[in-house]
Structure 1
Amino acid sequence: MPSVQSFELTYVALNESGTFSEGDTVTGKVTLVLVKEISAQSLHVKAKGDAEVRWSKKTGDRNRTYRASNRYFKLKEFLIGGQDAKETVIPKGVHVYKFSFKIPEGSMPSSFRGSHGKIIYKLEAALARSWKLDRTVEEELKFVSKAYPDIHSLMTPQVGSVKKEMGLFSSGQVHMDVGIDRRAYAPGETVMIVAQINNSSSSDMSPKFSFIQDVVYRASGNTKHESHVIHKVADSSIKAQTQKEVQCAITIPPGQMQTIQNCDIIAVEYHFKVYLDISFAFDPKVLLPVVILPVHFRPGLQPGVTASPYLAEATGGPSISDFPPPTASLGPYPASPNSGGYPGAQRYSVPQPAYSVNPPPMYAFPTNAYPAQPPYMSGGYNNPVPQPQAQYGSPSTSSSSTPVLHPPPSAPTFHPPPSAPAINPSPSPSFNMSAPAPTYNSLSSSLMMNVDFLSQGDEPPPSYSLLFPPSATGNSNAK
């Protein structure tokens, strides 16, 4: 009969998604249920994050394997014993050991699993006994990186253009401008792609839209590429000698993997592909790369407000769009949210980046139809601080129905410093920082005037001789 009835590892989630990020604290417990007394060399818990890739390539008659790995952190905590400690006797019953780890700060990629590689963060507990195989149990952590570039730099619109001269089987040319309202999106958001197509050729063509994931694995100076079409939409055909605006809405799947750009051996990127399907000709296409952010970074659309990332009226010809024309310039944003823009669109407060489009696109895009960003966008996650645990009970032998709580050995007890003795403050003297200005008597030899002539009543004013007495030298000879 085995001595260990069960060996379990659990952890406490910090949010509804159960995700962790750089700097978060992972707390949990290891539950050990024994049907009889055992002797153990150690019981420890590890937290670690690793990335690895591996694929094979056949060259002639030989298969060559490429592999690489990265370790981001490894933390270890002993709950019983130590590296070279003596065996410890554990009585039968239910024993609960609590632990706590702080994930290091720094740039680490999000969790990922692919056909040729993976990025995994996990907890692992192991019970080591003499002459016995180690008993292990592990739990995978869902890690979401918050090491992304400045979110505001990703909120600018994105425009692409393509022009194609037709070949042997048709004549004329085709021009297409494609745009979206920004460069970053979160899972669950809907992206409105707007394409202005000027078919000045003799062929019909069909616009098609795709949302594509690109994965790149790297090892030993070699790369392995994968491409997955997540969503694809085809629109109706555009006849020859026709100009048309096409709008396509594509929703990012709610559980879509985030963009990974901070891993040396695995990269995950996304882009929208818009192309014109033309028979017997090379298809002109426009690629718009985008960044998929975690849901916590979702741009701040207000409830009930939808941005309108539609194209403006064409500057070189008529348009069949039903939307009012916004301002055609790519200059500073208007002071009013509805000035030259669309109803319901919010003004974005970040200034336009200093770059020029060369050559300029045929169609202009609105610049005031982007949602305002909340002030906390430069942060990351709102993971609450874990609440303090209750007081642990003292270790003792118990029956299988009453667990024995073992406090984490590495948790130190902090005693507050003694408070300073109370000092009765003496009455503070009153200080007059600005001394009163001295009173100067500019007419010491004359009579001081203390009568307000403007406020007096019917009393006649004093005589001139009273105010200015004659001098002793006699009368003046002024003419």
Structure 2
Amino acid sequence: MSRDFKISVGYNPINKSNIFTSGDYITGNITLEVKKECKIESLGIKLKGKAEVKWKKSSGEASKTYHKKEKYFSIKQNVIEASQGNNIVGQGCHVYPFTFQIPAQDLPSSFKGSHGKIRYTLEAILSRSMRMDSKAKAEFTLINNGNLNSDPLVMAPQHQAIDKKMRLFTSGTVGMDVNITRTGFHQGEGIKVVASIQNRSSREIKPKYCLYKKYSYFASEKRKVETEVILREVGEPIPPSAGQTVTRTITIPPDTGVSILNCQIIKAEYRLRVYLDVKYAVDPQIKFPILILPALPGLEREQQPAYPDYGFGVFANYDQQGGNNFLHIPPSTGPSAPPPPYGTHKMYPSLAVFDKKPRQTPMSGAFVAEGKARHTMSTTVKSLKVTYNSINENNTFTSGDCVSGHVTLEVAKDCQIESLMVQFKGKSEVLWTERHGQVTVVYHSKDKYFSIKHYFIRDKNAKGDDSETLLTQHNGDTYSNVVAPGCHVYPFTFHVPLQSMPSSFKGSVGKITYTLKAVLSRSMRVNQKDKTNINHVSNADMSSDPVLMIPQHEAKDKKMKFFTSGSVAMDVNLEKTGFFQGEGIRVMACIENNSSREIKPKYCLYRKHSFFANSSRRVSTKDLLKEVGEPIPASTSVKVSKVIAIPHDAEPSILNCSNIKAEYRLRVYLDIKYASDPHIKFPIVILPASPVPAAAPAPLASAFGFEPFANPNPPAWGNIPTQQPPAHQSADPPPSYGAYGMYPPLTDFGNVYQ
């Protein structure tokens, strides 16, 4: 743009939400600031609406671009025409008003996605002789004027039913009959879901709800799809052999984008998925299409347009006055801000290096984090450490246990502290990348189980919540925020939440961690931190889950071809499904060798780790052990018994995490020379070995008194009883082990590990 002048364009909002719809009038000004007299060929303004999609697809070193545009309208007004003659503009600020009527046609709403956008713009164009055109642009938001009464399909109620027979580890059937009041809902409105659920199975089930969006982009006869979950909700569990009618209201977030179904190259759709969470089974589900319409209250008029009413739409003002008044200059406004970003990409956080294993220190069997401190301690604060007390020889904890320990602060001189706290939290996280040509795709997912904070010293201006507790000294006094020179010990006690949580885990691209973290805050200084991980193990009990005691049986028969004649067959039995670490799996097989070759029975125990993120799965497998049986001669039948010992250090199975699964398989197969080996695979659930309890010191934190773990009425979270804590007792077992989380529907891979 020339230094001699400056051009800008602005428009006047017509409502508080600053949005427009088809048929509305949009008024505004072109502002031209001129430093010295100049000659202009022409000055015009355009009102435009268009959609555009673009994405790239790489295949090896080659890449292909998919691109398409759709134009809705382009209207131009000339403020100064080229043939007018009097095109001399004097020094100063010149304001040129304009008025457009947005075409009264079916226009899609403004939209911005990862691979496409729908935009409505005002563009001012200034032309001068022998110079490039100068332009100024302002974008405004347009919403399709949807109305529940305008389309009977929007008001149509929806109904679906499903009935599913359980197999493998669950018997019986489950069924649900679901109704929702209609198809179309406004932003911020509640979707009332009424479901009649029949649980005729042997397991407890939970109704769950998931509202998600689905964006589709079209170009060159190809489609690009992106999906994202908007919200999830969980209903109350339904016991076996019971039927209930469940009513749930799913509230659509007010900032959810409206549905777009009237664009040829972009679709914005929504689905409500209602499903039953059934342990050890594929979840039966029902999907309802949901049409999201703009919220009505925010579209009330604030001012009158300058042109007469043409009888436009549901959002129009029917009381406006006529008259074309170009002499009146509307109040000037600055250039309009663009529409709010829709579907903005989330930034993938970098996954920190996995925490190093804890090391034992001589002090009271406590465990301290290995490695360097995160921040170099100042000369005033010499050290900050968090430690915990082990409660058994294996140094493991489970749901309902008590974790007690100390935060040790050593200072060289008097210092003032804003806050000192210790946080106990549990979470799972997966992260991996995939390379597609020159494009790197990041897959990332987190699942948070709990986060509890205890403050020794709390900032006076901080606002607490239910997960925060202020600890006191033994005499009931609060800790001073002025710390004297020396070593100070702050005791704490946490309860591990009594809920179904997966065991601690560390894999190639994911981890499940339970962490104690101390944080020291001082004015005008970087926070100092120290943390350590505890080893959490799901509390497993054979009697709590009958599925673990179910015996397994499979048979296989194979006819030989090519270099071997005859057939081989095996009938294999396992005494149960669940085994403890270090326990032996007794395999009993009846093998018939009716072939012309000697065969050998072989056994392979392997693990399978599955990581889930962004509707994708990453799988990692590893053989734990292999064993070979005695050879069986041709034309012979034998009964073989083999005990496969599970390694003591094999990690427990993880089946109750939404983004990580740790599974095991026992593969029994017959090794036949010059032929493919017939095999049978058995799912194995590995349970943690029962820990040997050890006497633990009584917790020192007086602010968190706790009852014996077997007490059926424990104190509520955050309550601070005045009585001294009684002696430690073992915890009641939590709910049954191995509850499934929600896994995305993925086609299994066809390799040997399944």
What is the TM-score normalised by the length of structure 2? 0.39
SS at match of 2:153: helix
Aligned to 1:392: 327
Aligned to 1:116: 115
Alignment of 1:419-430 (within 5 A): none
Q: Is the 8 A contact 1:81 1:87 kept in 2?
A: no
Q: Which amino acid aligns with 2:133?
A: D
| Post-superposition offset of 1:383 | 3.8
Alignment of 1:293-372 (within 5 A): 293-296=293-296
Distance change >3 Å, CA 386–CA 97, structure 1 → 2: farther
Q: Which amino acid aligns with 2:72?
A: Y
Q: Is the 8 A contact 2:210 2:274 kept in 1?
A: yes
Q: Is the 8 A contact 1:29 1:97 kept in 2?
A: yes
Q: Report whether the alignment pairs 1:285 with 2:319.
A: no
- d(CA) in 1 for partners of 2:92, 2:192: 60
- d(CA) in 2 for partners of 1:387, 1:178: 52
| Post-superposition offset of 1:387 | 6.8
- d(CA) in 2 for partners of 1:190, 1:46: 40
- d(CA) in 1 for partners of 2:236, 2:202: 17
Q: Is the 8 A contact 2:214 2:226 kept in 1?
A: yes
Aligned to 2:171: 171
Q: Which amino acid aligns with 1:209?
A: Y
SS at match of 1:108: coil
Q: Report whether the alignment pairs 1:381 with 2:382.
A: no
Structure 1: stretches of 5+ with no match in the other structure: 299-377, 395-402, 404-479
- d(CA) in 1 for partners of 2:322, 2:258: 29
Distance change >3 Å, CA 147–CA 69, structure 1 → 2: farther
Alignment of 1:139-154 (within 5 A): 139-146=138-145, 150-154=150-154
- d(CA) in 2 for partners of 1:97, 1:270: 43
SS at match of 2:283: coil
Q: Deviations 1:262-305 (Å, cap 9, x if unpaired)?
A: 1110111112111112222111001111211122399xxxxxxx
Q: Which amino acid aligns with 2:95?
A: V
Distance change >3 Å, CA 386–CA 8, structure 1 → 2: farther
| Post-superposition offset of 1:235 | 2.2
- d(CA) in 2 for partners of 1:9, 1:263: 28
- d(CA) in 2 for partners of 1:8, 1:387: 28
Distance change >3 Å, CA 59–CA 391, structure 1 → 2: closer
What is the aligned-residue RMSD (CA, Å)? 2.6
Aligned to 2:4: 3
Distance change >3 Å, CA 383–CA 212, structure 1 → 2: farther
Aligned to 1:92: 91
Distance change >3 Å, CA 264–CA 393, structure 1 → 2: closer
Aligned to 1:444: none
| Post-superposition offset of 1:86 | 6.2
Q: Which structure would you say has the larger RCO, counting Cα contacts within 8 Å and 6 or more residues apart?
A: 1
- d(CA) in 2 for partners of 1:197, 1:379: 43
Q: Is the 8 A contact 2:109 2:144 kept in 1?
A: yes
| Post-superposition offset of 1:386 | 7.1
Q: Deviations 1:336-362 (Å, cap 9, x if unpaired)?
A: xxxxxxxxxxxxxxxxxxxxxxxxxxx
- d(CA) in 1 for partners of 2:3, 2:68: 40
| Post-superposition offset of 1:388 | 5.0
SS at match of 1:151: coil
| Post-superposition offset of 1:245 | 2.6
Task: Pick which of 286-295 and 168-177 moved more.
Answer: 286-295
Q: Which amino acid aligns with 1:392?
A: L
Distance change >3 Å, CA 393–CA 212, structure 1 → 2: closer
Q: Is the 8 A contact 2:97 2:326 kept in 1?
A: no
Aligned to 1:126: 125
Q: Report whether the alignment pairs 1:218 with 2:218.
A: yes
- d(CA) in 1 for partners of 2:120, 2:265: 16
| Post-superposition offset of 1:90 | 0.5
| Post-superposition offset of 1:108 | 1.6
Q: Is the 8 A contact 1:14 1:386 kept in 2?
A: no
- d(CA) in 2 for partners of 1:177, 1:63: 47
- d(CA) in 1 for partners of 2:328, 2:198: 77
Q: Is the 8 A contact 1:42 1:87 kept in 2?
A: no
Q: Deviations 1:49-94 (Å, cap 9, x if unpaired)?
A: 0001011112343211111110000011111233x77682100012
Q: Deviations 1:355-375 (Å, cap 9, x if unpaired)?
A: xxxxxxxxxxxxxxxxxxxxx
SS at match of 1:154: coil
Q: Report whether the alignment pairs 1:54 with 2:54.
A: yes
Q: Deviations 1:289-344 (Å, cap 9, x if unpaired)?
A: 1211122399xxxxxxxxxxxxxxxxxxxxxxxxxxxxxxxxxxxxxxxxxxxxxx
What is the TM-score normalised by the length of structure 1? 0.61
- d(CA) in 2 for partners of 1:178, 1:164: 14
SS at match of 1:295: coil
| Post-superposition offset of 1:249 | 2.0
Aligned to 2:202: 202
Q: Is the 8 A contact 1:162 1:177 kept in 2?
A: yes
Aligned to 1:135: 134
| Post-superposition offset of 1:95 | 0.9
| Post-superposition offset of 1:123 | 0.3
Alignment of 1:34-49 (within 5 A): 34-49=34-49
- d(CA) in 2 for partners of 1:128, 1:21: 31
- d(CA) in 1 for partners of 2:317, 2:288: 33
| Post-superposition offset of 1:227 | 1.1
Task: Pick which of 147-156 and 224-233 moved more.
Answer: 147-156
Alignment of 1:455-466 (within 5 A): none
Q: Is the 8 A contact 1:186 1:297 kept in 2?
A: no
Q: Is the 8 A contact 1:215 1:227 kept in 2?
A: yes
Distance change >3 Å, CA 202–CA 45, structure 1 → 2: same
| Post-superposition offset of 1:114 | 0.5
Q: Which amino acid aligns with 2:314?
A: G
Q: Deviations 1:232-280 (Å, cap 9, x if unpaired)?
A: 1112332222222333222112222111111110111112111112222
Higher share of residues assigned strand: 2
Aligned to 2:450: none
| Post-superposition offset of 1:223 | 0.6
Structure 2: stretches of 5+ with no match in the other structure: 299-311, 333-754
| Post-superposition offset of 1:99 | 1.3
Q: Is the 8 A contact 1:14 1:383 kept in 2?
A: no
SS at match of 1:292: strand
Aligned to 1:356: none
| Post-superposition offset of 1:191 | 1.7
Q: Which amino acid aligns with 1:381?
A: F
- d(CA) in 1 for partners of 2:18, 2:323: 19
In the comparison of the two structures, how many residue pairs are matched? 314
Percent of aligned positions that are identical: 37
Q: Deviations 1:409-452 (Å, cap 9, x if unpaired)?
A: xxxxxxxxxxxxxxxxxxxxxxxxxxxxxxxxxxxxxxxxxxxx
SS at match of 2:29: strand
Q: Deviations 1:137-189 (Å, cap 9, x if unpaired)?
A: 11112111236783343223211111100011111000111121111110121
Q: Report whether the alignment pairs 1:263 with 2:263.
A: yes
Whichever of the two has the greater Rg, that structure is 1
Q: Is the 8 A contact 1:67 1:219 kept in 2?
A: yes
Aligned to 1:69: 69
| Post-superposition offset of 1:215 | 1.0
Aligned to 1:104: 103
Q: Is the 8 A contact 2:187 2:292 kept in 1?
A: yes
Distance change >3 Å, CA 17–CA 163, structure 1 → 2: same
Aligned to 1:475: none
Q: Which amino acid aligns with 2:327?
A: Y
